[in-house]
Amino acid sequence: MRNVLKFTSVLATAGLALSLAACGSSGSSSSDPNAPLKVVASPTPHGQVLKFVNDNLAAKAGLKLDIKEVTDYVTPNTAVQDGSADANYFQHVPYLDDFNKKNGTDIVSVETVHLEPLGVYSKKVKSINDLPSGATVGLPNDATNEGRALKLLADNKLITLKEGAGTAATPADVTGNPKNFKWKELEAAQLPRSIADLDAAVINGNYALDSGLKPATDALVLEKAEGNPYANILAVKKGKENDPRVKKLAELLHSDEVKKYIDDTFQGSVIPAF
């Protein structure tokens, strides 16, 4: 089953790459300041934000956008690396760093734009400080998000982490646990379904939304966006940071209009990171 899924994923990615290459007269990105800037993005919320920029701000700024939406996490970077796209908007820096390391690519961040915040949720208490001694807390069990979840708890003074544990922290790195929390490590997608059996759970924003939770109102605490390494970014191949079209898009993505759009549209489920 795993091999079949992997093969299907490769075919899907190849098809998306061919689709990207077929777009436009030349099939490749351009440094012509008057040419459309080709940006590959995840549909939600990235594509929505870009469409808002394109429909409301780009023309006045003298920018043309060619937005291509994809659902996988490989095509956006391979398209930027091979030049069939100018930029992408779908990932955070820890993912990008890992992708560059594993694939020998040289893609760089231009600007942070938004955060889809991780939050602590509970069906049993109304305040993070009301979690009882010995409470069982659910954590996502993948390497990226478990460290992120523990950091959120540490930032809220519930636990202390070993110095230098960073984003790779696991429960073994918890050096202070005054309430003697017990950890239940589950797949991230399973946490919302398991929350009734736990005292609390740290849940990714997308899975919280999918389960009907509203991060802005239902979370006991949420990640802060400013300075967060998991804020999603606009990225380009190294050397294209000074493309005037990229600079224009970065400026528009940091505009008051985009901030208001994100706040009004997503109401705390997506947070501006600027």
pLDDT in tens, 205-218: 878 877 888 888 99
Confidence of residue 8 (pLDDT cuts 50, 70, 90): very low
What is the H or E stretch that residue 250 is in?
helix 244-253
Same domain, 99 and 123: no
pTM attached to this predicted model:
0.74
With 0-12 / 13-18 / 19 or more C-beta atoms within 10 angstroms meaning exposed / middle / buried, residue 255 is middle
Tens of pLDDT, residue by residue over 100-125, are 999 999 999 999 999 989 999 999 99
What is the pLDDT at residue 25? 36
- Among 70-74, 119-123, 158-162, the least confident range: 70-74
What is the pLDDT at residue 227? 73
Same domain, 96 and 8: yes
Q: Which amino acid is at 126?
A: K
The Cα–Cα gap between 16 and 22 comes to 10
* pLDDT mean over 69-88: 95
The Cα–Cα gap between 118 and 149 comes to 7
What is the H or E stretch that residue 109 is in?
strand 107-115
Same domain, 30 and 164: no
Same domain, 262 and 238: yes
The Cα–Cα gap between 160 and 173 comes to 9
What is the pLDDT at residue 13? 44
Same domain, 249 and 265: yes
Is pLDDT above 60 for 27?
A: no
* DSSP letter, residue 222: E
Tens of pLDDT, residue by residue over 136-148, are 999 999 877 899 9
Same domain, 23 and 69: yes
What is the pLDDT at residue 33? 81
Same domain, 31 and 163: no
Supply the range of the domain harboring residue 62: 2-116+228-272
Same domain, 197 and 125: yes
What is the pLDDT at residue 66? 98
Same domain, 106 and 188: no
Same domain, 150 and 101: no
Same domain, 239 and 145: no
How many domains, the chain? 2
Same domain, 110 and 245: yes
Q: What is the dihedral of CA 251, 99, 75, 206, to 10 degrees?
A: -70
Rg (CA), the chain: 20
CATH number at residue 144: 3.40.190.10
Asked which of 222, 244, 262 is the last residue of a domain, the reply is 222
